[in-house]
Structure 1
Amino acid sequence: MTARAAELKAAGADVIALSQGEPAFDTPMSIQDAGIAAIRAGKTRYTPVAGVGPLREAIQEKLMRDHGLDYATDQITVGCGAKQVVFNALFASLDPGDEVIIPTPCWVSYPDMVTLADGVPVLVPCTEFHGFKLRADALEACITLQTKWLMLNSPNNPTGAVYSAGDLAELAEVLRRHPQVFVLSDDIYEKLVYDASFAAIASVAPDLFERTLVVNGVSKANAMTGWRVGYGAGPQPLIKAMNVIQGQTSSHTSSISQYAAIEAIAGGQAYVAGFVEAFRARRDLVVEKLNQAEGLSCRLPEGAFYAFANCAGTIGKRTPAGRLIKTDTDFAMYLLSEFAVAVVPGSGFMAAPYVRISYAAEPADLERACDRIIAACAALTEEGK
Structure 2
Amino acid sequence: MSGRLLRWVGTGAALGALLATASPAYAVPEPSGPGERPVSELLTDLQELYRKAEESTETYNATQEKLKDQRAEVTRLNGSLARARTSVRDSRGAAARFARQQYQGRTNISPYVHLLLARNPQQAVDQGHVLGRAAAERAATVERLVGGEQKASALAARAKGALATQVALAAREKEARDTVKGRLKEVEELLASLSTEQLEELARAEEEGMAEAQKKFLKSGSLSGSPGSTPTRPPSRRGDSALDYAVRQIGKPYKWGAEGPRSFDCSGLTSRAWAAAGKEIPRTSQEQWAQLKRVSLRKLRPGDLIVYFPKATHVAMYLGDGMVIQAPRPGTRVKVSPIAANPLLGAVRPDPSAKPMKDYVPPKLPRGAMKGGDAGYGRAAAPRT
- Establish whether TM, by shorter chain, passes 0.5: no
When you count strand as a share of all residues, which structure comes out higher?
A: 1
The structure with more radius of gyration = 2
TM category (shorter chain) comes to under 0.3
Under a length normalisation based on structure 2, what TM-score does the superposition of the two structures give? 0.26
TM-score for the superposition, normalised by structure 1: 0.26
